[in-house]
Amino acid sequence: MAVIRTVDLHKIYDEDTVPVHALNGVSLAVEEGEFTAIVGPSGSGKTTLLNMIGGLDKPSRGSVFIDEQDITSYSDNQLIDFRLKHIGFVFQAYNLIPVLTAYENVEFIMLLQKRPKEERRVRAMELLRAVGLEEKTEKRPTELSGGQQQRVAVARALASKPRFVLADEPTANLDSKSTAGLLDLMQELNQNENATFIFSTHDQRVIDRARRVLTLEDGKIVSDETRQG
Amino acid sequence: MIRKIAWRNIWRNRTRSLVIIASVVMGLWAGIFVIALSRGMVDQRKEKMINEQLSHIQLHTPGFKEKQKLADFIPGAAQILDSLRNMPGIKAVSGRSIINGMLSAPGGGSGVQIIGIDPGAENRLTGLEKKVVEGTYFPDGKNRILIGRALADKLGLHIGSKVVLTFLDTSSNILAGAFRISGLISTGDIRLDKVRVYARSDELQRVLGTSRPFIHEIALLLENDEEVPFYRAQLKERYPRLMVEAWYDLSPELRYLNEMMDVFLYIFMGIIMLALAFGLVNTMLMAVLERSRELGMLMAIGMNKRRLFLMIVSETVMLALTGAVIGMVLAYFSILIASHRGIDLSMVEQGMESFGISAVLYPSADIAYYPGIALMVIVFSVISAIYPARKALKLNPSEAIRKI
Ligand SMILES: Nc1ncnc2c1ncn2[C@@H]1O[C@H](COP(=O)(O)OP(=O)(O)OP(=O)(O)O)[C@@H](O)[C@H]1O
Ligand SMILES: [Mg+2]
């Protein structure tokens, strides 16, 4: 059973003025445990697609099924709740709450989920250790490097025990060393914890690490490669 | 955690927050100080009126107050006075004869109100002796009287001047008695000082040629001013044929002033807070707009609208309450100091005293208002948070994040 399934997704921005067809009938399925890159030129619709899958925006046509539930019919409030329970997010920047420490940022999402205190503490520490920041738990985002901030964001995304993690150009603001480090981390979590990752990227080095690469052009999937190994 | 975030968010833009906090501090400090001053003024006036003029409770015959007839004296006044003196909870009692008459002197005459008193009892009740500004309070010797200084000035009288008091008896015969001025009084109320004459009631009795004490008024002061309604009811029951009135019956305007003051002060505080609320709205609106990406991110990862709303409301309330607490503490201590030292307004003394207001104001250090004011701050800041919070809720997470 696919974790994510989209059926003939269309997204048209500014329908009444100058319509922009950002997505033109995207149908895809993502299975549990995938490590998938969405690639394509700028403006090809990567962000738009991730937003549809993540329930941040609604398609003009077509449906998104998460665990076979159609989320396109959900209300705004239902979607927020759904995202909290089922989806982890890593954005390009501004992932973290600047007034909270690394630890508190990770804990925060579990607090929203009303998890008990002890569980929050154990999981937050476990994840911060997994992302190699056990020494930096009390640091605020401004005291961390860009790469470290993205690691905290990954820890935060996984803390909620989501069905999958969506990452829109998570390495765009990182140097090559931090990029490699973040990808190592994501790959490790994918293998050890069976976390499903879907990320968009422009970076060839990132694309090379993906096990499946979906290529978008003008809002359509033009290729879908799965690599072995 | 939401409260923690809200609190820390306040300090992200320190200057902006401090400016609004400072205005809340100043607004509340000034507001509370004015309240304390007004309250103190009203309380002082009330105290003064009760302690020097009205007393807590007065007894008359039903007809006396309207016509002030000599014949409307209280029957059995001596026994009533005795039993009141022995009643627990009553601090002081005085019986008075009140006779309208004329004061004649070589320099002219004037209509006066002659109050016959027992000097000791009257002094215990109203502290009349303290009002003597010149001369002596009923020294030994016969037929000594006190008159208002304003009256003495008008008629060119001095200590030791001889005057004649004339009045009608119950059968309209003109009676006259010669008296000597032993003291001049100033009550702080010029209107009274122009008509008041105090004499010993037993000496007036002698002029009237009667052995009956003509007591028209019995005034009493209680130990505890909260017990006035209770004693008023008690005495009414005990003396059904007399009119028993508390200070608030005798001076409805004083009672009204007392009660309206609270309403007025809350309205006044409300106006200050309304002004502060605009500042709060502005500050929070700026905060929300400059954090739109972050707020979008929070909604994206699953912070629902209720929590987001709560976060912005908490931030606003904390911002206002921080200022309010500082303002209240400053107000409390400055009022405490001022209430001990008093604020001397002697520049306008003349005008104020004729209204029965003392020239030195003591702001009321009563903290009973503070919880109400704190509540108002909370209510106003919650209201101020609504507009900025609605702005935040209208953010579309995908658009807010795209701006990254
Ligand atoms: N809110 C919007 N209103 C109007 N047009 C939009 C909006 N968001 C995206 N678009 C348009 O939709 C198309 C797809 O945009 P999208 O951001 O999904 O592309 P992308 O592949 O993520 O590009 P990039 O690699 O630059 O991030 C673009 O032509 C873009 O201009
Ligand atoms: Mg994009």
Confidence of residue B357 (pLDDT cuts 50, 70, 90): low
pLDDT in tens, B7-40: 999 999 999 999 999 999 999 999 999 988 888 8
Residues in chain A: 229
d(CA B209, CA B194): 28
B299 in contact with A at a CB cutoff of 8 Å? yes
Which residues of chain A does B293 touch, with a Cβ-Cβ cutoff of 8 Å?
A: 94
d(CA A80, CA A55): 8
Range of the domain at A138: 2-226
Cβ atoms of A220 and A49 closer than 8 Å: no
Confidence of residue B404 (pLDDT cuts 50, 70, 90): very low
Give the count of domains, chain A.
1
pLDDT in tens, B113-140: 999 999 999 999 999 999 999 999 999 8
In one-letter notation, the amino acid at residue B166 is T
Residue of A nearest to B306 (CA): A77
pTM given for the model: 0.81
Ligand index nearest the alpha carbon of residue A215 = 1
What is the best residue among A47, A58, A169 to mutate for testing ligand 1's pocket, by most ligand atoms within 8 Å of CB? Answer: A47
A222 in contact with B at a CB cutoff of 8 Å? no
Strand-pairing partners, residue B57, are B220, B246
pLDDT in tens, B358-381: 678 888 877 888 999 999 999 999
- Cβ distance A98 to B294 less than 8 Å, yes or no, reads yes
Residue of A nearest to B293 (CA): A94
- Cβ distance A91 to B1 less than 8 Å, yes or no, reads no
Which residues of chain A does B294 touch, with a Cβ-Cβ cutoff of 8 Å?
A: 94, 97-98
A85 in contact with B at a CB cutoff of 8 Å? yes
Q: Which of A17, A32, A34, A37 is nearest to A221 (CA)?
A: A37
- Residue ranges of alpha helices (H) inside A132-217 are 146-159, 176-192, 204-209
Ligand index nearest the alpha carbon of residue A24 = 1
Q: Has residue B285 got a pLDDT over 80? A: yes
Q: Tell me the HSE value of A175 on the side-chain side, using a 13 A CA sphere.
A: 4
pLDDT in tens, B309-335: 999 999 999 999 999 999 999 999 999
pLDDT in tens, B32-66: 999 888 888 888 888 888 998 899 999 999 988 88
Cβ atoms of B95 and B201 closer than 8 Å: yes
Report helix, strand or coil for A21: strand
User: Mean pLDDT, chain B, as a whole number?
Assistant: 90
Instruction: Please write down the long-range contacts of B357-362, taking CB distance under 8 Å and 24 or more positions apart.
Output: B357/B41, B357/B44, B357/B45, B358/B44, B358/B48, B358/B188, B361/B37, B361/B40, B361/B41, B361/B44, B362/B40, B362/B44, B362/B338
Q: Which of B92, B217, B202, B224 is nearest to B143 (CA)?
A: B202
Tokens representing A3?
Answer: 């974790």
- Residue ranges of alpha helices (H) inside B114-175 are 119-126, 149-155
For B302, the closest of A51, A83, A100 (CB atoms) is: A83
Write down the pLDDT at residue B399: 83
d(CA A215, CA A26): 11
Place of tokens 């007025």: B264
Alpha carbon of A56: minimum distance to chain B alpha carbons (Å): 6
pLDDT in tens, B161-201: 999 999 988 888 899 999 999 999 998 788 889 999 999 99
d(CA A139, CA A143): 6
How far does the centroid of ligand 2 lie from the alpha carbon of residue A46, in Å?
Answer: 6
Cβ atoms of B116 and B96 closer than 8 Å: yes
d(CA B118, CA B89): 21
For B404, the closest of A93, A107, A113 (CB atoms) is: A93
**List of residues 6+ apart from B319 with CB closer than 8 A:** B10, B17, B20, B21, B24, B280, B283, B284, B381
In one-letter notation, the amino acid at residue B266 is Y
Domain CATH for A45: 3.40.50.300
Which residues of chain A does B8 touch, with a Cβ-Cβ cutoff of 8 Å?
A: 99-100
With a pLDDT cut of 70, the percent of chain B lying above it is 96
Cβ atoms of A46 and A200 closer than 8 Å: yes
B367 in contact with A at a CB cutoff of 8 Å? no
Residues 10-49 of chain B whose Cβ lies under 8 A from any Cβ of chain A: 12
How far does the centroid of ligand 1 lie from the alpha carbon of residue A23, in Å?
Answer: 9
pLDDT < 50 positions in chain A: none
Which residues of chain B does A51 touch, with a Cβ-Cβ cutoff of 8 Å?
A: 398
d(CA B138, CA B157): 17
Residue of A nearest to B11 (CA): A99
